[in-house]
Chains A and B, each alone.
Chain A
Amino acid sequence: MAKVIVVTSGKGGVGKTTTSASFASGLALRGNKTVVIDFDVGLRNLDLIMGCERRVVFDIINVINGDAALNRALIKDKHCDNLFVLPASQTRDKDALSLDGVGKIIDELKESFDCIVCDSPAGIEHGAFSAMYYADEALVVTNPEVSSVRDSDRILGILAAKSKRAVEGLEPVKEHLLVTRYNTGRVAAGEMLSVDDIQEILRIPLLGVIPESESVLQASNSGTPAIHLDKSDVAEAYKDLVARFMGEEVPMRFVTAEKASLFKRLFGGR
């Protein structure tokens, strides 16, 4: 049974698109036939992060309006054979995303894909709503600071009240917390909320922690999802995230500051 997973946050700039790209790539690397849909109509970014911006011909609005068949709009990822991108339109506005139209696309995708990842725009307006409406599971991306946590709380409330599952009285959307841009040093210094602080407020299960890292920016600029960066913390953290999502027990890494022991300090690295 195909799963629809929305990557959402409320607040902008917390790492939704970065996460969508890496999460979808990770699912595909594990053998799931995966499609990732950019719902940020008017401000499309996912194609850039995935490095397929030069191959965009048709987009989700073309498909909704019947200008193009769905399979013509899907772009095959350059890293994974079983990963496809459905780009957003750059020129239309969000109102073109009709809920019915999105529903038809998702139903059609469910026939041939295992995982459908919906990259939500920021905010709680129509675009974000249409991204979350059909979700079975939600990856709520939060940065360790109060405004991001508050916005995630708001999104969780909307998911619980207005998603299709909520409206139709089905089993609620399964919620997962993903903390991104986590800097253990700054948490220890009291400048950032800790994972515990965030969970104390949001009270949903933690699926992963992605450390703050400059390599994310380089990955974005080069059009490579961060999960493909060899030997980086971020790639490891995203792989852990995907493993946990697939039901594996993986210990949480990057949560506590590495305490350099006296021994280490004397003799350097590992």
Chain B
Amino acid sequence: MTTLIDRYVLTAVRHVPEKQRADIDRELRASIDDAVDARLEAGEDRDAAIDATLRELGDPRRLADQYADRPQYLIGPDMYPVWRGVMKMLFTIVLPIVVVVLQTIHALADPHLGRLIGTTIGLTLTIGAHMAFWTTAVFWILERTGVGRHDLVAGEWAPEHLPKYDARVLTLPQLAAQIVWPVLLGTALVLQQFMFTDEPVLDPANWTFWWPYLLVTFALSVAYGVWVFRKAAWSHAVTVANAVLSLAIAVPVVWLLATDRFFNPAFLDSLNWGEVDDPGRWLTRIVLFSVIVGTAFGIVDTAVKAERARRGLPNRVPGTESPLRAG
């Protein structure tokens, strides 16, 4: 029969590297025996002495971690800020884009609102769990092996790295969005002709002019984003350029929608939204509304930013005093 001390020592050494086991086993036994002997001399009975000694030594797995000099954490303070930055980016930018793109494709193939909401929730949870797990797993490996630690955390902080709180500049994520959205829309516009659904979603007749025209305006949107980013300043020229570009996209789209030449009639006929009557009309109305509101918001938003920049007001940070005037 194994004694309590045997069980303690075996549990501890089982969790240390194999080549240290024999030595730690021997030393730990001697130390425990010494402590038990000291308690016996003080008049305790044997079982109580063993029990008290092992209690003092504590959880053998914790002791093993100390012997093996293993970190008792998943991601240490050096790596944590990098991990947090990556997670924040994944959950606020990548996850919404992926879910929206996948669900847009899904909605075109199977436009049923109830199912759509259900799969959106499921998809968000699944993708979110995968992103969190795999990112953390990679960081755990980096933490244990030390690979890449130098590149990730060596960059010493300097005052120049402070954010500018400046209304003038398009930030890098905003530039990315300004580039990614037109590219996604353009890709979707081309692919819908061949994929996603049995019938093309949009009216194929418009390939003679309007769809190529939209592709050109999407390309111009990308160029506009790069231009604003490099210009590094909102100005009235930017307001005007943005308004012209937005209207150049929105006006033809609204006109095509209003005259029922936007969607492919064959596609609208194939729609089935359950009890909703004439789903084609509803889809047209929803898209019409979204385009008008989205375009108006974009134009006003840019105009406000440009006006703030003209007056030299930096962006506000919620919870702080009203912003100081930029020198």
Do these two chains interact?
no
Interface residues of B (CB under 8 A from A): none
Interface residues of A (CB under 8 A from B): none
